[in-house]
Structure formats: structure tokens, C-alpha cells
A and B are shown apart, each in its own frame.
Chain A
């Protein structure tokens, strides 16, 4: 056997490289699923809240309100995985040296964030499926399968702004308070953007600062429900906000490691 030269390093096949991304995504999802601090707010709470407040307690609201409530809770549901997955985990992992350890390993570039993004998608799809099932069996909704599909498609785009907000929190907040920040932002985005009940005064005027407001309007428009603003405006807001937050987070992560 020819001895290896000092500069010889093993080559990684494309298949194994893709395998590394998938394996990271798999284990990221598994650990989130096994950590009750994540799995309960991410998976259990949206379906619980929707069942109680959106479906069972909506007896007198009629189909119009039922449809609005359904859209509201889907926005709430798909924001959770990205917000918590990035917001808390990035902050905690910066603190515990895991990010450093992974940088020392030959982890493929971008796999750290790609794994979290895929995890957010996996959980958003599960949440969405649970909400649709509950809506069809318990709710008063009058949305046909095409409109449900359209709403789901809009929501799948909503995962990205959720991850961007989470990444921003995770890169700036100290590990000890990242969870509190993520929860405050989550509640503010849910209740101050008019997802569940009409707002008035200053709160109504500043609704457009919340990404959830724009996502909800897009979902309503896609399903032919009453909505405000223009589709282009909502999309532009979500794209610009997400890009800005990711950029600020990347600068912070590059500096602080």
C-alpha cells in the first residue's frame, strides 16, 4: 500500500454529503420532539388552542368567524417551530459550546442552519395536518379542499419568516433569556396582529409591523376570505423583513461565534 502523503485527505461523495444534511435534519427533529420544552408549545398547544377556542367555543360565530379563526390558528401553529427551534436552540447552543464543537467537525457548510430549517418544516407540516384534521371534524369551516391546500401552501412560505425572527432572537439573546424573548415575541405576533379578534386604536394601526399580520392576510386572500392590503405588499414585507433579520443575525453570529 502506498503511504498517504501528508496533504492527502479523503474525498466525500455527493451522496454522503447529502446524507450528512439529511442526518442532521433527522437528529435535530428527533431531539426537539424528545424535549418537552419544545414539543409541547410547538406541537400540542396549537391543536389544543384551536380545538378549544377555534372549534368548540365558536358555537355562535358561524362559518365566517370559524374560517377566520382557522386561518389565525394555522398562522400561530406554523410560526412556533421556526421561532422556538431557532430562537432558543441557537442561543443555547452558542452558550454551551456545541456550535464550536460542530465547527471543529467537518459538518457541511450551512448544515447547522439547514437542519433547523428542515426541522421547522417537518413540525410545521405536522401541525398543519393536525389543524386541518381538527377543522374538518370539529369546526364550522366552509373551506373546500382546494382552499385548504392554498392556505397550506401560503403557510409553508410562512415558516421562513418564523425562522428568520427566531434566528434573530437566537443570535442576539443570551441563552438564559432566549426562551422568554421567544415567548414574548410569539404572543405579541399572535395577539397584536389581529389573528383572533379585531383590534382598535393604535394596536390596529400598527398591526402591519408584525409578520403574522401579513401572513394571515395572504392566507385569507388565497382562500377568498375578506382581507386587507395588497398581495404584493404583504409578500414584499415578509421578504424584506426576513432578509434583514437573517443578515443581522449572520453578522452577530460571525462576530460572536
Chain B
């Protein structure tokens, strides 16, 4: 239990869950290296990062499945080992097999029984959009259907905070749309969600806030918009007679490559200056296009720069 001082601090910042300076090592591998992370009331936080960045370890610590080597972990201002704290949490993990021989609605009933005021089995099934699966044995479901059933288990306890580790892996387009719609509804109703994902579009479509992790550290944090602005690099494409190698040598040009005959792609931190020089050097430039890097490019760039 947190004392009143701690609670006051929590309230000021509205954090439902928090990792403070947390480190965790598995043998030779430093999975987390002084990570700070907080989940605020009612937000959808997307945690992005390449494999091995420490996303799943961070979630395992917040759920009390692992203990940190250093730093502090809080869930609702308590230790995550406190059963009372976990009653506010729903979870969808990556590698989990559920007992064979039970039907989907039975698994939901079994899981819902752990919570103080859960959804009814029928409500959980409707919210997850899996009416057709409810009477089927879990063992007979396809990979994507199992993920949908696991999502129903995650939401059946009416959690205040939902952890979803790569929830849409293996889902078809319709199932993913249904899940996204349900997530938006849950956030609108005040549920906070932590989502780890490889799919940039998923973060772009859903997240209020994005944390980018690499090598066990937080390398960037902000709204999707801020993330993209953080990476100032833009991409210029055009058809030109100029030599690619000489463009690559211009100031502010990070790279220049020829895509097809005469069509080149330039990465730059100062698009305006490069476009001006381009037009001056080759009045015949055509098909000019300038775009801001997408979140996926921003993400790739952020995780490749060494953390400070």
C-alpha cells in the first residue's frame, strides 16, 4: 500500500502504473536499463520498439511476473504482487496456451470469476465480436481466433487498465477492425490501455501517446504527431537528369538513391534548401514530391540512433 505522500504524487500525475529507473538483466542480456515509464488514466499508450527492445519485459514487470534488479514498479500505487492491484488489470500476453478441452465461453467464465464486477459472459463475447466462437473448444480454434478469444479474456473483468502484448498478430483485416473499434470504445469509457505492437499503423490509428524503446531504454516519447516531428528528415522524390552521386554529396542530404530510370529519392533534413538547389540545377525536374517521414520511418530512425 502506498502512503498518503506517495498517493498525492500519483494523483498529481494521474499515473495508474509506473516503472521508475527499472533495470532487469537476464544473464548477459540487459533487457531493461534504467527504464522510466508511466501509464496515465484513460490513455492509450503504444509501446513501440524492435524485437529485444524490452517491451515484453516491461509489461512482465508491471504485471508482477518478474522482479526488477533495480528501480521501482507500481501498479495502482501498490506492488503488482498485490492481488488487489491485479484485480484492476486485464491482460493479453504473447505466448500463452490455454487449457484444451474448455470451450471459449467456459474460459471466459473461469477468468471473469477472478474479478469483483466482471462483464457477463455474453457481454464479453459481444464486445470481442466472437459470437460464432463461443461454443467451440478453444483447442479447435485457428491462431487468429485464439487471439480473439484471449482478447475476450482480457476485457471480461472490466479492467481499469488493459495490457495488450501484440494483440493483432495473426488477425485478419475484419477481426483487426473489430478489435480496434472495441479498443476505441473502451478508451472512450475511461479504460487505460498499454499496447505493444510491431504495426506502426496500429499505433498511428489508436494511440494517444507513443513510447519508443530500444535496448531496454526509452528513446522517445510523445504523441504520434510529436514522434513524427521529432524526426525532421523528409523524403524528396523526382525525375531528374542530375547525377545521383553528386546530389548525395550536397549539404543536408542524408542519402540519395536512384529508384528507376532518372527517378531519384533523397532523404534530407532541410527539404526546402534541397528543392531550391534541385530546381536551380535542373530546370527540367518533374514529378516532384516531398513528404514527411511516416511514423514507421521515424521509428526506424529513432531505434537505430544510439541512446544517449
**CB pairs A–B below 8 angstroms (29 shown):** A5-B11, A7-B10, A7-B11, A8-B76, A9-B85, A10-B115, A12-B115, A20-B113, A24-B113, A27-B107, A27-B109, A30-B102, A31-B99, A97-B95, A97-B97, A98-B97, A100-B65, A100-B93, A100-B96, A103-B64, A103-B65, A104-B63, A104-B64, A104-B65, A104-B93, A106-B86, A106-B89, A106-B157, A108-B83
- List CB contacts (< 8 Å) of A64-111 with chain B: 93, 96-98, 100-101, 103-109
A101 to B101, Cβ gap below 8 A?
no
B99 to A106, Cβ gap below 8 A?
no
B96 to A27, Cβ gap below 8 A?
no
A105→B114 CA distance, assembly (Å): 8
Minimum-distance CB pairs A-B, first 9: A7-B77, A96-B97, A34-B101, A23-B113, A31-B101, A106-B86, A10-B116, A106-B87, A12-B116
Smallest CB separation, A29 vs chain B (Å): 11
A4→B95 CA distance, assembly (Å): 32
B47 close to chain A: CB less than 8 A? no
- Nearest A residue to B157 via CB reads A106
Binding site for B on A (CB under 8 A): 3-13, 16, 19-20, 23-24, 27, 30-32, 34-35, 93, 96-98, 100-101, 103-109
Chain B residues with Cβ below 8 Å from A8 are: 76
Smallest CB separation, B96 vs chain A (Å): 4
A157→B238 CA distance, assembly (Å): 83
- Nearest A residue to B18 via CB reads A6
- List CB contacts (< 8 Å) of B77-134 with chain A: 77-78, 83-89, 91, 93, 95-102, 106-107, 109-111, 113-117
Q: Which of A19, A23, A97 contacts B93 (CB 8 A)?
A: A97
Main secondary structure of the interface of A (DSSP, over half): loop
A31→B99 CA distance, assembly (Å): 7
B292 close to chain A: CB less than 8 A? no
| Additional A-B contact list (18), CB under 8 Å, known A103-B63, A106-B157 | A4-B160, A5-B7, A6-B11, A6-B15, A6-B76, A7-B11, A8-B76, A9-B160, A10-B87, A10-B88, A12-B84, A20-B114, A23-B113, A27-B109, A35-B101, A97-B93, A97-B97, A104-B91
B116 to A108, Cβ gap below 8 A?
no
- Nearest A residue to B94 via CB reads A97
Chain A residues with Cβ below 8 Å from B181 are: none
A96→B97 CA distance, assembly (Å): 6
B14 to A6, Cβ gap below 8 A?
yes
Chain A residues with Cβ below 8 Å from B7 are: 5, 7
A10 to B97, Cβ gap below 8 A?
no
A108→B110 CA distance, assembly (Å): 12
Q: Which of B100, B106, B113, B160 contacts A35 (CB 8 A)?
A: B100
B281 close to chain A: CB less than 8 A? no
Chain B residues with Cβ below 8 Å from A24 are: 110, 113
Chain A residues with Cβ below 8 Å from B63 are: 103-104
Smallest CB separation, B233 vs chain A (Å): 37
A8→B78 CA distance, assembly (Å): 10
Chain A residues with Cβ below 8 Å from B178 are: none
Smallest CB separation, B43 vs chain A (Å): 12
B115 to A106, Cβ gap below 8 A?
yes
Q: A23-B110, A27-B102, A101-B96 are in contact. Are A6 and B77 (CB under 8 A)?
A: yes
A108→B115 CA distance, assembly (Å): 10
A13→B84 CA distance, assembly (Å): 12
